[in-house]
Structure 1
Amino acid sequence: MTDTPTPAPGQIWQDNDKRAYGRQLRIIEIDNTHAICELYTPRDGGGFTRPGRRTRIRLDRLRPTATGYRYISGGEPR
């Protein structure tokens, strides 16, 4: 099993909560306690849709638990 990386801007994380199945977020910025994220929705054929609403997520939730988030990729440059 791979270790979960330290959250950083540009990374893509997926919500593990079954109520938000498939929701992916891109980290925009990090402060001492939270990550500022926006909705990331990949499109068929590459690219992604317009950025969605921004939200703040506590850094301690960015770990692979049932109600946390799991790391997907390093993200693409903006």
Structure 2
Amino acid sequence: MTEITTRHGTVIRVGQVWADVDPGGQGFRTFKVVAIEPRRGTDRQAVCEVLTDWDGEPPQRARAVRIKVDRMRPTSNGYRLVEEAL
């Protein structure tokens, strides 16, 4: 699966770059979506490569995180789209 539309209408695609929404303005992490996979039931999760940590620097070692796709929207505890997939 390379694309999914969330229940909120957000289209998540492999290759997109997303960032944490940080209401406190303390910086943010950025992630690149590398896969979309089942979570449990009908839920899906995005497998993401961390591009930058909270300090804006690349991580010390490569790592992946999994994010529930319904959280990928610009709310206080969500994520915002930074760059569309090429």
* CA–CA distance in structure 2, aligned partners of residues 20 and 39 of structure 1: 17
| Matched residue, 2:6 | none
Give the structure with the larger helix fraction: 1
Q: How many matched pairs? A: 67
Report if the CA contact (8 A) 2:13-2:85 is conserved. Answer: no
Instruction: Assess, with a 3 A threshold, how the Cα gap between structure 1 residues 36 and 20 changes in structure 2: closer, same or farther.
Output: farther
Q: Which has the higher strand share?
A: 2
- Per the TM alignment, residue 21 of structure 1 is displaced from its structure 2 partner at its CA by 2.1
User: Which is higher, the Rg of structure 1 or of structure 2?
Assistant: 2
> Scaled by the length of structure 1, what TM-score is found?
0.69
2:3 aligned partner: none
In 1, the alpha carbon distance for the partners of 2:28 and 2:16 equals: 16
User: Sequence identity, in percent?
Assistant: 33
Q: Which residue of 2 aligns with 1:7?
A: 12
SS of residue paired to 2:74: coil
Following superposition, the deviation at residue 52 of structure 1 comes to 2.6
CA–CA separation in structure 1 for the residues paired with 2:85 and 2:78? 19
Q: Which residue of 1 aligns with 2:64?
A: 54
Aligned twin of 1:68? 78
Report if aligned partners of 1:26, 1:75 keep a CA contact under 8 Å in 2: no
Unmatched 5+ residue regions in structure 2?
A: 1-8, 39-43, 53-57
Runs of 5+ unmatched residues, structure 1? 42-47
TM-score, length-normalised on structure 2?
Answer: 0.63
